[in-house]
Structure 1
Amino acid sequence: MIARKKKTCANTECSTQFVPSQLGQKVCGWACGLAIKEVNREKAHKALADVGRREIKVRKEKLKSRGDHVRECQQAFNEYIRWRDQVAGHACISSGRPLDWSGNAVDAGHYRSVGSAPHLRFDERNCHAQSKADNRFLSGNAVDYRIGLIERIGLDAVEGLEADQSVRKYTVEQLQEIKAKYRALTRELKRIAA
């Protein structure tokens, strides 16, 4: 008869010393074996769920149209503009009144609208924090916006914006890069503001 060495139970909650009765035995008894089996099953289930979530995210990304990417990119850009002007302490670009940053009363208003100049939609000189009243109900308050814009960026830059008639068509990859850039800049501004 061969004397067998004692082993430590593989169940981390038990870890008692035992003499194995079979070759390859890793646990002291059936209760510890079931406990390890349950832990391994939960780990495998979680790993599958993580892989499933990643696959779903990748599939959803592939289903997005170019318009979906433009919309997401515009949201990231507008959020950055609002944070940029809030951190800088700017007032409304068109009316000059202080902005209410506590609620949802501030828009990122474009001097040249996205509809008339889509190539300037992501130009930081063309977009500034503006009260919702001026942006939505006064159609951007363009005359006062121009006056405020000249004070902020200068007459030459404003005339450059007005003269820019170039055509830009963003690819999906470019839109994803722009979105990532402005999300990173916004995170940095939020960190500064905190």
Structure 2
Amino acid sequence: MSLLAKQPRPKKCAVQTCRASFVPRASFQTWCSPDCGVAIARAKAEKKRKALAQVERREIKVRKEKLKSRGDHMREAQQAFNAYIRARDQAAGHLCISSGKPLDWSGNAVDAGHYRSVGSAPHLRFDERNCHAQSKQDNRFLSGNAVDYRIGLIERIGLEAVQALEADQSVRKYTIDDLKAIKAEYRAKTRELKRAAA
């Protein structure tokens, strides 16, 4: 009985732009010519480079997160909260809480204005009843337009809720973990509002 050498079967080149049929010289060969072999090697090297870059970016992000101060976390949580307030009031079609005028949502002309300011009542900075969409004019240049804000707030949430806000003197201390949770919660709420509006 004689042993016949098994002839390799033709394969298609693994390079997407080539795909030529060829007979491999070795079982692991997946390319038809040296040029295609170089192309495969380059593609593998590029894939490896991208994977390493992605790992490096993740590590940098983790290191940056560790360097953040409590103030940085507070600022990010406040930004997420304010973005939610603007999205909530835009979705509801609310007018400016203090002037009662239509808000210009096309640009950067709308603030999330607090009834009791963050400076005087920091414990209410993340209270949704205390913050509403307000024109930059009223919020920044008219110091919040507090008298008209109160009138608009009573119309929106009722006198009892406004009096409860005014009487609230509780002390709240936010930890870094609290601030991270607040940021995550309000980012998720904002995404949900935008998804519902689309």
TM-score normalised by structure 2 residue count? 0.88
- 1: CA distance between counterparts of 2:136 and 2:20? 66
Moved more, 106-115 or 22-31: 22-31
Q: 1:24 to 1:80 in 2, by over 3 A?
A: closer
The one-character-per-residue Cα deviations of 1:114-160 (angstroms, maximum 9, x if unpaired) are 01111100000000011111111111111111111111111111111
Cα pair 1:83 1:190 within 8 Å, conserved: yes
Cα pair 1:80 1:183 within 8 Å, conserved: yes
Map of 2:95 onto structure 1: 91
**Residues 1:191 and 2:191 aligned together:** no
**How many residues end up aligned between the 2 structures?**
193
**Residues 1:118 and 2:122 aligned together:** yes
Map of 2:14 onto structure 1: 11
Map of 1:81 onto structure 2: 85
- Deviation of 1:14 after TM superposition, in Å, equals 4.0
| Paired letter, 1:3 | A
Moved more, 27-36 or 88-97: 27-36
**Residue 136 (structure 2) aligned to one of 109, 117, 132:** 132
- 2: CA distance between counterparts of 1:16 and 1:27? 9
Q: Report 1:167-182 matches (<5 A).
A: 167-182=171-186
Identical columns (%): 71
- 1: CA distance between counterparts of 2:108 and 2:71? 25
- 1: CA distance between counterparts of 2:24 and 2:145? 86
What are structure 1's unaligned runs of at least 5 residues? none
What are structure 2's unaligned runs of at least 5 residues? none
| Paired letter, 2:23 | F
- Deviation of 1:55 after TM superposition, in Å, equals 1.2
TM-score normalised by structure 1 residue count? 0.90
- 2: CA distance between counterparts of 1:186 and 1:25? 52
| Paired letter, 1:93 | I
Moved more, 150-159 or 28-37: 28-37
Cα pair 2:98 2:152 within 8 Å, conserved: yes
**Residues 1:105 and 2:127 aligned together:** no
- 2: CA distance between counterparts of 1:148 and 1:60? 42
- Deviation of 1:10 after TM superposition, in Å, equals 6.0
CA-based RMSD of the aligned residues comes to: 2.0
**Residues 1:39 and 2:43 aligned together:** yes
**Residues 1:51 and 2:58 aligned together:** no
Cα pair 1:92 1:130 within 8 Å, conserved: yes
